Amino acid sequence: MFEKFEKLKKEYKEVEKKLTLPEIADNPSKIEELGRRYGELKEQVETYRKYLKLKKEYEQAKNLFEQEKADMKDLAAEEMEILSEKIEKTEKELKNYLLPKDPDENKDVIIEIRAGTGGDEAALFCYELYRMYARFAESSGWNIDIYSSNKTGLGGFKEIIFSVEGKNVYGNLKWESGVHRVQRVPETESGGRIHTSACSVAVLSHADPVEINISKDDLRIDTYRASGKGGQHVNVTDSAVRITHLPTGIVVQCQDERSQMQNKRKAMNMLRARIKEHVKIQQEKEQGARRRNQIGSGDRSEKIRTYNFPQNRVTDHRAGLTVHKLEELIDGNLAEFLEEIKKRIREKQLREL
């Protein structure tokens, strides 16, 4: 670890020196590139320097403790205890820098929620998960835009696809991908038996046209009459759009907007996000990485989280985290819960590292 930070410290000095060179000052793109790298290195190097300073102060306090008389030993021991806590905290910060930075951390996302095992009860849970994320997005100052939805007669969703736009959205929501399981007594259950249902959640980072370049020749675009909202309008125009990406076989469709152009734009956003995820999975397979398909089949055996209503309990199985405030979380108060999940997953990754 220390070898890496010594190298970073050396690179930091080199970048700092380059930024003062006259030939660099006349090259705006180079200034931007070096400035971005300088900003990345500065935080890490300053933390490393802080760590080295604390270690030096600890050694001085230790020497004082070993050499001085009893009246000074107590002061030295107290100083060592304080410095030890600071060193431990700073060391954790340094270790976090060792984890590879996710380039999509600040990206917007497209979330796909699908009802799996459980029929109507799963569809109702699908709606509740959407509402949970929508309320969390609202409290976070993010924007929600529904791309596609398939409602059921009881007010649930067979599936709903929507975008979330704002600051650090993917960084906060990326660990939500997987199967979410619910345990409760449905309103239609006369015997009071607890039923188990499941929904799958996929969080896809946004991909812009430059990042994922799609050739028109690789697309088949079909239009048809929408069956969702829009009143009489849906019966007279082919506003719904279905796009098939021929090389991968990925199919997306959108019909929630009145305009065919708006539906096509949203469908292309979905397609780019899915192709990006497809490429990522293929690359990780080639590299031998073990990665579970985000969307899954919706079967409860693939669960990442369980929501138990009778016990007011939510358990995230990857992070090993259980809290007894289900109603609060399902109402969209997710900030502390997601932060703790991120923290525990990072700690696991550091142990593996």
Distance between CA 333 and CA 335 in Å, rounded? 6
Q: Helix 70-98 crosses helix 335-352 at what angle (to 10 degrees)?
A: 90
Task: Tell which of 234, 262, 286 closes a domain.
Answer: 286
Print burial letters for 23-32: b (CB count within 10 Å at least 16), e (below 16): eeeeeeeeee
203 pLDDT band (50/70/90 cuts)?
A: very high
What's the CATH code of the domain at 248? 3.30.160.20
What is the total residue count of the chain? 353
**Residues 200 and 317 both lie in one domain:** yes
80 pLDDT band (50/70/90 cuts)?
A: very high
Q: Look at the block and give the residue holding tokens 């079909």.
A: 222
Looking at the predicted structure, is the pLDDT value of residue 287 above 70? Answer: no
**Residues 87 and 202 both lie in one domain:** no
Q: What is the pTM of this model?
A: 0.73
Is 350 in contact with 99 (CB distance < 8 Å)? yes
Q: What is the pLDDT of residue 237?
A: 66
Q: 97 versus 293: which is more confidently predicted?
A: 97
Is 185 in contact with 159 (CB distance < 8 Å)? no
Q: Which two tokens stand for residue 94?
A: 């340094």
**Residues 90 and 6 both lie in one domain:** yes
Q: How many beta carbons lie within 10 A of that of residue 235, not counting itself?
A: 10
Distance between CA 335 and CA 327 in Å, rounded? 14
List strand residue ranges (DSSP E) for the chain, in order: 109-115, 143-151, 157-165, 178-184, 195-205, 219-224, 240-245, 250-254, 303-308, 313-316, 321-323
Count Cα neighbours of 340 within 13 Å in the Cβ-side half-sphere: 12
Instruction: Report the domain count for the chain.
Output: 3
Quick: pLDDT tens for 220-275.
Answer: 999 988 765 444 444 456 789 999 999 999 999 998 888 899 999 999 999 999 99
Quick: pLDDT tens for 148-183.
Answer: 999 998 889 999 999 999 999 999 999 999 999 999
Range(s) of the domain holding residue 132: 109-207+293-352
How much is the mean pLDDT over the chain? 87
Looking at the predicted structure, is the pLDDT value of residue 306 above 50? Answer: yes
